[in-house]
């Protein structure tokens, strides 16, 4: 990670909530870029390990982490996890909640990198306004490797001025960060991303399985067709490992099913017809049932062998 170069900007006091496979290196890039980072993680041992590696501070609650921060970043599991770190758990009378909003100062911006629903993004954006805060939904694409390399693509929804404040800092771990519309637009764009990926992986799986049944040297075939119109990121980065049957890395099937669940739920609201996506979601269910919950999404090919 030390090979990464960072844009020279004024150091900010920031918080990062959630140190999973994505959040841990993302927060690390913020620290390497010179920002003053306070982290919170549900399992404190992970936060302590992060601080030992990067030298930042550790907070015991999201509220504590957010105190004094101009920007608060988060990358957690789902809608409920997000509500928990943002709004906190119900507090006894005369006591503050432990959520991040309770610790943020007016004018601060919350940037959420969780892949969640567009509805929760709109809900939390509305909750931020009376407090003088801003909420940006900012799901990412690029996976764990993109997070480690600081090369994520970030799709955003929310207030333009707040986005402009967050973007220079978030570029510490991203190669592109784009505002696509009002609150929820980032999450909707991530759904578009996952729809495209699901279809591509299924198509690539069928192509490789077909070629293997036909007796072809599929690594040689992929090398050839990868120079033409069939080329894709999935082919370049997953084709060979699919041929080799290696799936113990990358973006887990469980995560993809969560994302496709959000997609299909949103499609029910907006009327979009997604026959291929719905079918691929069922195929991933087959992979889960076969023990592949943590396999990379390219394991879709295992159903065809």
Q: In which residue are the tokens 């291929």 written?
A: 276
Indicate the burial class of 93 (C-beta count within 10 angstroms; 0-12, 13-18, 19 or more): exposed
Question: Half-sphere exposure of 24 toward its Cβ, with a 13 Å CA cutoff?
Answer: 18
Measured in degrees and rounded to the nearest 5, phi and psi for residue 230 equal -80, -5
User: CA of 127: how far to CAs of 43, 180, 262, in Å?
Assistant: 27, 21, 22
Q: Residues 249, 254, 255, 257: what is their CA dihedral angle, to the nearest 10 degrees?
A: 130
Handedness of CA 274, 153, 248, 217 (dihedral sign): positive
Supply the DSSP symbol for 301.
G
DSSP state of 298: G
HSE-CB of 69 using CA atoms within 13 angstroms: 34
Is 190 in the active site? Answer: yes
Instruction: Please list, in sequence order, all residues whose beta carbon lies within 8 angstroms of the beta carbon of residue 181, skipping any fewer than 6 positions away.
Output: 157
Rg (alpha carbons) of the chain, rounded to whole number: 20
Q: Give the active site residue among 175, 190, 219, 227.
A: 190
> Can you tell me the distance from the alpha carbon of 207 to that of 98, in angstroms, rounded to the nearest whole number?
51
Residue 190 contacts residue 22 (beta carbons within 8 Å): no
Residue with tokens 């390399």: 149
- Both tokens of residue 145? 């490797």
- Active site (catalytic) residues: 190
């Amino acid at each position: 990670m030390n090979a990464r170069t960072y844009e020279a900007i004024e150091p900010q006091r920031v918080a990062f909530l959630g140190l999973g496979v994505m959040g841990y290196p993302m927060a690390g890039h913020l620290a390497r870029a010179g920002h003053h980072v306070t982290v919170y993680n549900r399992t404190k041992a992970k936060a302590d390990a992060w601080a030992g590696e990067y030298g930042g501070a550790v907070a015991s609650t999201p509220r504590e982490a957010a105190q004094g921060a101009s920007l608060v970043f988060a990358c957690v599991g789902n809608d409920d996890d997000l509500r928990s770190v943002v709004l906190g758990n119900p507090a006894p009378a005369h006591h503050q909640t432990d959520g991040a909003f309770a610790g943020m100062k007016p004018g601060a911006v919350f940037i959420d990198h969780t892949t969640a629903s567009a509805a929760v993004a709109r809900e939390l954006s509305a909750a931020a306004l009376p407090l003088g805060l801003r909420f940006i939904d900012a799901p990412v694409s690029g996976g764990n490797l993109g997070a480690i390399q600081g090369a994520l693509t970030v799709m955003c929804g929310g207030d333009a001025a707040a986005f402009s404040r967050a973007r220079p800092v978030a570029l510490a771990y991203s190669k592109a960060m784009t505002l696509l519309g009002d609150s929820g637009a980032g999450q909707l764009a991530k759904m578009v991303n996952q729809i495209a990926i699901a279809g591509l992986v299924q198509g690539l799986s069928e192509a490789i399985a077909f070629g293997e049944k036909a007796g072809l040297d599929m690594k040689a075939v992929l090398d050839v067709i990868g120079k033409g119109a069939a080329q894709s990121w999935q082919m370049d980065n997953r084709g060979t490992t699919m041929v080799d049957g290696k799936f113990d890395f990358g973006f887990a099937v469980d995560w993809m099913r969560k994302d496709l669940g959000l997609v299909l739920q949103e499609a029910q609201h907006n009327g979009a017809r997604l026959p291929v996506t719905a079918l691929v979601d069922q195929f991933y269910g087959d992979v889960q049932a076969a023990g592949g919950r943590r396999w990379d999404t390219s394991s879709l090919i295992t159903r065809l062998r």
